[in-house]
Every structure is written in C-alpha cells, then in structure tokens.
Amino acid sequence: MKLRKIICVAIVALLAVSSLAGCGGDKKQQATGHLTYWMGNYAGASELDNYGKMESVQKIHEAVGVEVEYVHPSSAAWEENFNIMIASGDYTDMIYWNWASKYTGGYEGALNDGIILDLTDKTDKLPNYSKILADNPDVDKTIRTTDGKLLFFATVKEDTSLNSCYGPMIRKDWLDKLGLEMPTTIDEWYTVLKAFKTGDPNGNGKADEIPMAATKSPGFKNFAGAFGTRNGIYVKNGKVVYGFMQPEYKAFVTEMNKWYKEGLIDSEFAALDKTTADAYMSNDTSGACMGWVGSGMGTYLAAGQSIPGYNLVAAPWPSLEKGGKAYIPQDFDRITSTDSGGVITTKCQDLDSAFKYMDYFYTEEATVLLNWGIEGKSYVVENGEKKLTDFVTNNPDGKSRNQAMGLYANTSSGAPQKIMAADAFAAVQYGTPQQKEASIVWNEGDRSLMTLEWPLTADEKAKLSEIEGAITTYENEVFTKMVMGTEPISNYGKHMAELRNRGIDEMIAIYQTAYDRFMAK
C-alpha cells in the first residue's frame, strides 16, 4: 500500500476524533439502518459542507430507508487521511477513492488486502446495477477485472454524447468580418488562420493577432485526426498502434511546423499555461483554439461580452481533403473513470442496507434526483420535458448554474456513483446556444480512431508505470521541438528508434494483449 509516514500517534489521534459507527470490530452483522461513507465532498459547486445535505441525496435516504453519514477528508490532506484510515484497520462501510492510481494493485490489491468486498457473486442483491451492466456490455467489460471480477460501483454516462465536450472552436464574428467560411479541411484551416494573422480581424489597426491560442499541453495535437491518426494509443485494423509511430503523424507534425513558422500558432505555446490562452481568447487577441465547452467556450463567451459582436462557436473536426473522412480523435468510454469508484468494505456490518443503498443510485428515480434535483425547485416539467427553474438559470443571489444546482444535485461526473444524464448535464453546463451546438458538432465524425479503456492486470499496470511515462514525456518533447523547428523533422526516424529503445514496442504489446483479451470477453 502507498502509505505516507504512518505514525501511531497520528492514527490514535484520528481515531479519537472520527470514531465511526456501524463499521469495524468483530460485531455480528446487524441491520442498523445506518451506514458510513468516506469520500470527497461532491456537493457540486454549492456551498454545502456535506454531501448528505444535498436535497436529492436526502430523498435517496428516505427512499431506501437508510441513514448515511458522509465522512469527508480534508481536501488538503485527502490521500494522507485515506492512508491513515486504511492503516488503522477501522474504516467506513463504503469508500469512494482513486483505487486504480493511488492504491498498490488497484481494486484487486484492495481486494487481496481484505479491504473491499467482491461484488461478483452479489449481483442478485444489486438488481438495478446488474441491469445497467447487462444492457450495456461495453460498460460491463470495461469495469471488470481481467478475470471477470466486479469490484466497484461506477458512474456511467448515459450515452457517448457526454464525451463531446472538447474540440476546435473559432471566432465566427472574425470569419464573418473577413468574408470566410467555416473551415472543414486542414487547408481551409490554414487559409483561415493566415487571414486572422494578416486581416486585422480585431480591428485595432495593429498586426497583433495570434491566430491559434495554445499551451504547453498543445490541444492542437487533435488536428492529427484529419490525417487519419491521433495522439497516443489506438487501434488500427485490429492492431494497437502508437500515433507518433505512424507515417500519417509525421505528415501532421510537418503541417504544424508550417503553421508555427508562419505565426499561426502562438510562438510561446511551449511555455504557456491555460491562463494565458484563456486571456488571448477573451481579450480579442486569438481567433481559435482547442478547448472544453464549459471551462473554455463558456468562460470565453462570458468574458467576450464586452467585445462588440463577439461570437465563439464550435468548428467541426477537419478532414484532410474536401469530402474526406473527419475523424474524432478522442475516446468513447461511457465510464467517467475506472480509476475512481465506490466500494463496500469488509468492515460493513449491514450489507443488506449497503447493497440496497448503492444499488438505488442506478434506478430511474435516483437518476432524475441526482441529475435534475428536486421538481419545483431546480426543475419543472413542461410538455413532457424537464426544464431548469429560474432559481438555477437566473439565480437571485447571483450564483452560477452550477452553484445554484449544487444545492439539489451534481450534474457533473463528480459523484460517488450514478447514471450521468446527457440532457441534465447540457442544461446546467451549457448555458449558451453555442455550447449546446458544440456538443452536437463535436460528436459528428468517423469513430474508428476512438477507443475504450481496456482492463489491465496488476503486472501489466506495474510494467506500464515503469515505461509509459518516460515514453510519453519524450514524445511530447520531440513533438514540441519539431513543431517549433528546433529539431529537424528529418530526424523523425531517429526518434522512433529512441522510442523503441525506451520500450515502446513492449508498451504496445501490453496494450495489444489487453485489447485482445477485452475483445474476447
């Protein structure tokens, strides 16, 4: 286990202040109707200091007939609090945690250490969760271990449209001012960015435009999709490949180097953080970027209200040629995270109540509660459709939609577990027509580059942890240097050889094994 400086005195002190009812000890199992759940405070963006104060969660307690005490660790010492609790051997009935990345051996390690309960043969106690998995085999295969064990409760996306929250965005008012059409190919993007560079679209009489805002984590890598490849691992004709190793990726890097040399991409992108890119997109300096529909587009549209005519919209994923395939260079997992999950621990003395409580989150009633909140307060039904109330959309206290909705429900993926509804997410997170349209635009394209997360064994994870980080870091460094021209693209072959020296073939082989195993289920 990853334990940080576990000191007996600290354990004793923690136990003294947070003795937890209903778990620990050698008591016989008994129906207490009281459970304890250790997790972060997922009360949305509200000011509630405890998840149990969210009104939708209180309704769930009433429906299930179980009282749940939510134990929230200090946000400043979350991992340390978790480690101390686990080391003490006295932990809550349920825990929501980053098991895959922050516990040695992940879920299986926690199972082998006697911490979490194996749910594999308990599905008769979990009828609603079982139905979700049975109706969605891709979800079922993704969350099980390599030998088929079911160990955690996941947050499941209702459909893949919830993945369409990141993509290319462009100033429509700049296009209109310069008499340009929406770019749909790489050549058209080049033409548009050149016009942004030379046509003074911000109208200040200065050549100060930075056409493409970017950061040291270059979102413009997603333009690789136009070339029929993508960043990182994906499947091509049944074989796992690594984007940088594909000939199409070299063509993509060559194009990005051309854009950079001509000043179409921020010359300082390799050293910039998101704050700078945000400023450029908000203060009439840049006309395009890759970004999130909420923290990107939503932020920029709000800030741009002071600029006459400011209009930022989603651009479609580009193709290489007119009428060619426009690939979506992202993933389509319907699990918000296989890293984080809710588990029932072996210390739980009231398993019947725990099963009933955890399973209820996957009912239609809970889905409405956890995504839309309380009827008449956070939403109303008009003509058969749910609609947010003015309290949420135009809060009298000036709260954002997220903050106002957070009193009743959490529409984002940050929940202990639930079914994440696309309509509720869009209603709360997408406050403008441009954002709603973006989720549609970015969901259109060829999906053959999209991939799922394939379960890995503990040994596979351990080996990947040794080599994958170094490979990714090296590839990112080379990509940046080649785009900026400090490393000749003619050296591409040399760098592919270096990636092989660093274990890229072994990394691909591990993922190939995982993919083949996944497809055989």
Residue-range domain boundaries for the chain? 31-159+335-420, 166-291+298-331+448-520
Q: Which of these ranges, 28-32, 62-66, 72-76, 390-394, has the smallest mean pLDDT?
A: 28-32
CATH no. for 31-159+335-420? 3.40.190.10
**Which of 439, 433, 392 has its CA nearest to residue 411?**
392
Same fold for the pair 31-159+335-420 and 166-291+298-331+448-520: yes
The mean pLDDT value for 374-402 works out to 94
Considering only residues 430 and 373, tell me which one the structure prediction assigns the higher pLDDT: 373
Q: Which CATH architecture has domain 166-291+298-331+448-520?
A: 3-Layer(aba) Sandwich (3.40)
Q: How far apart are CA 94 and CA 69, in angstroms?
A: 10
Q: How far apart are CA 351 and CA 415, in angstroms?
A: 21
| Residue 304 CA: distances (Å) to CA of 172, 276, 290, 310 | 13, 15, 17, 6
**Which of 432, 197, 444 has its CA nearest to residue 313?**
432
Name the pLDDT band for 480 (thresholds 50, 70, 90). very high
pLDDT at 415: 63
Q: What is the pLDDT of residues 200-250, one digit of tens each?
A: 999 999 999 999 999 988 999 999 999 999 999 999 999 999 999 999 999
pLDDT at 45: 64
Strand, helix or coil for residue 248: helix
The mean pLDDT value for 60-67 works out to 94
13 pLDDT above the threshold of 50: no
Single-letter residue type at 120: T
pLDDT at 23: 41
How many residues are given for the chain?
521
pLDDT at 21: 38
Q: What is the pLDDT of residues 335-366, one digit of tens each?
A: 777 788 999 999 999 999 999 999 999 999 99
**Which of 132, 256, 265 has its CA nearest to residue 197?**
265
The mean pLDDT value for 12-24 works out to 37
The mean pLDDT value for 60-89 works out to 92
- Looking at the chain, the whole-number percentage of residues with pLDDT higher than 90 is 71
* Cβ proximity of 207 and 227 under 8 Å: no
Q: What are phi and psi of 436, to 5 degrees?
A: -60, -40
Q: What is the pLDDT of residues 159-178, one digit of tens each?
A: 777 778 899 999 999 999 99
Looking from the CA of 9 toward its CB, the CA atoms found within 13 Å total 0
141 pLDDT above the threshold of 50: yes
- What is the average pLDDT score of the chain? 89
Name the pLDDT band for 124 (thresholds 50, 70, 90). very high
Element (H, E) at 88: helix 78-88
The mean pLDDT value for 60-70 works out to 95
pLDDT at 18: 38
Q: How far apart are CA 294 and CA 435, in angstroms?
A: 8
The mean pLDDT value for 114-140 works out to 94
Q: Which of these ranges, 9-18, 40-49, 83-92, has the smallest mean pLDDT?
A: 9-18
The mean pLDDT value for 274-282 works out to 92
pLDDT at 252: 97
Name the pLDDT band for 5 (thresholds 50, 70, 90). very low
Residues facing 166 on adjacent strands: 292
